[in-house]
Amino acid sequence: MAEIANGNVASNMDPDSWAAPAALREARLQEAKSEKLNLGPYDVVHAFWLAGMSCDGCSICVVGATSPSAEMLMAGTIPGVPRVVLHHPVLSVEAGDAFVENYRMAERGELGAPYVVIFEGSVADERLAEKHGGYWSALGAEKLPNGQSKPIPTASWLSRLAPNAAATIAIGTCATWGGVPAAAGNPTGAMGVMDFLGQNYRSDLGLPVVNIPGCSPVGDNFTETVAAVLLFLQGLGPLPEFDELGRPAWLFQETVHQRCGRAGFYEEGLFAESYGDKECLVEVGCWGPVVQCNITQRGAINGMGGCMNTGGICIGCTMPGFPDRFAPFYKMPPGSLVSTNLSRVTGTFIRTLRRLTQQFQNRTTRWDDHVPSGWGNVDKPSFAKRLVHEVYEKYQFLGTSKPGSHVDKTGEDNR
């Protein structure tokens, strides 16, 4: 825990030292800006990472992002996007007083560049802990008039830094909605950043809290949103579209089911009976048809993995109602009693027609009577199937000519 006085520690530090606050080094490179934040262009944007009631899974997912990667953002290699100076309790080079001084410089308005606040984990009610002389989560410490040191709760840092931030971004379901630490019966009074800052909160750019949910979220969802917001900050792009809950609309407007590779089984009324089966997982507890998330499309890391892609069910971890409204896990959602049985009825008919069409489409026009395959015997369609297929083809070529219809058996063109 870093202990620093309430004064300006930066004045006592060598800005050229690798252990000096990164914000101090960057401030020497940037010209002073006006007090009111204006749209870019900027060379540098600071990102202050705060952690509340967190498992650090959100940090891990961002480190694994590839489109774009965290390294690309911090190196400033994305055209038009300013270089991001990340202040992270684990990833930053400096430590102790020098690290905490970065946050103090932001609070005092001494950065000479805009900054964003990134909060991971839910925001606990520090008043509950303070009654017993403790705290839930903190970063750094400050001296009290009596000479003692007091940890600074990350909730306090959020209150201090959010008003003048270009944007405040909540990453992960704990930070966006409250998540597991805010589940029923918790003793912490935990809540999401949006609840903590209130409905009227606006950043210096006029933005409410930006929410990137997920437990843990898809890292690319976060880095892509950060890049889009920074392009807007630079005046090089429009304000990204967010939905009514502050989620990037282009990432969270569709459900897991709509992009799931198993959705076709649902349509045909085929459902898994146990884990490991290839069919739709709704009847073994998957909430995918109602959950807004793109993990089946984008994967977990570098386009790979993701719950349903690897055989797991969706438990709704991106949704505000998680976890309580999705409990108990691994039990079929009640609504599935209606939807799955309807799918079975319609799916049986649809599946039969599709298999019939598939049987004929697996034959060339030369194979009407016999398929010369050495791999196995291919049954000849029955009379009833051929009759149905004749009707099918009538509709298929209605208003047009069937290929080869103008050529007789001798090969002569009848046109």
Is 3:95 a contact under the CB 8 Å cutoff?
Answer: no
Structural domain contains residue 114: yes
Is 177:121 a contact under the CB 8 Å cutoff?
Answer: no
* Mean pLDDT estimate for the chain: 89
Q: Could you report the per-residue pLDDT of 180-224, keeping only the tens digit for each?
A: 999 999 999 999 999 999 999 999 999 999 999 999 999 999 999
Is 28:174 a contact under the CB 8 Å cutoff?
Answer: no
Q: Could you report the per-residue pLDDT of 259-316, keeping only the tens digit for each?
A: 999 999 999 999 999 999 999 999 999 999 999 999 999 999 988 999 999 999 999 9
Containing structural domain, residue 199: 3-251
Q: Is residue 234 predicted with pLDDT exceeding 60?
A: yes
Q: Could you report the per-residue pLDDT of 87-117, keeping only the tens digit for each?
A: 999 999 999 999 999 999 999 999 999 999 9
Name residues whose C-beta falls within 8 Å of residue 343's C-beta, 6 or more positions apart in sequence: 266, 267, 268, 269
Q: Above pLDDT 90, what percent of the chain? A: 72
Decide which of 211, 228, 251 is a domain's last residue: 251
- Is the entire prediction scored with pTM above 0.85? no
Decide which of 198, 219, 251 is a domain's last residue: 251
Is 261 found in the same domain as 226? Answer: no
Number of domains in the chain: 2
Is 227 found in the same domain as 264? Answer: no
Is 354 found in the same domain as 270? Answer: yes
Looking at residue 40, its pLDDT comes to 58
Decide which of 190, 217, 251 is a domain's last residue: 251
CATH number of 236's domain: 3.40.50.700
At 34, the pLDDT band (50, 70, 90 cuts) reads very low
Is 376 found in the same domain as 264? Answer: yes
Structural domain contains residue 409: no
Is 2:96 a contact under the CB 8 Å cutoff?
Answer: yes
Is 142 found in the same domain as 64? Answer: yes
Is 204 found in the same domain as 186? Answer: yes
- The closest alpha carbon to 186, from 60, 52, 313, belongs to 52
Q: In the structure encoding, which two tokens stand for residue 385, read together? A: 């199937």
Is 168 found in the same domain as 275? Answer: no
Structural domain contains residue 82: yes
Could you tell me where the DSSP H helices lie in 235-379? 249-252, 256-259, 263-267, 295-298, 336-361
Structural domain contains residue 415: no
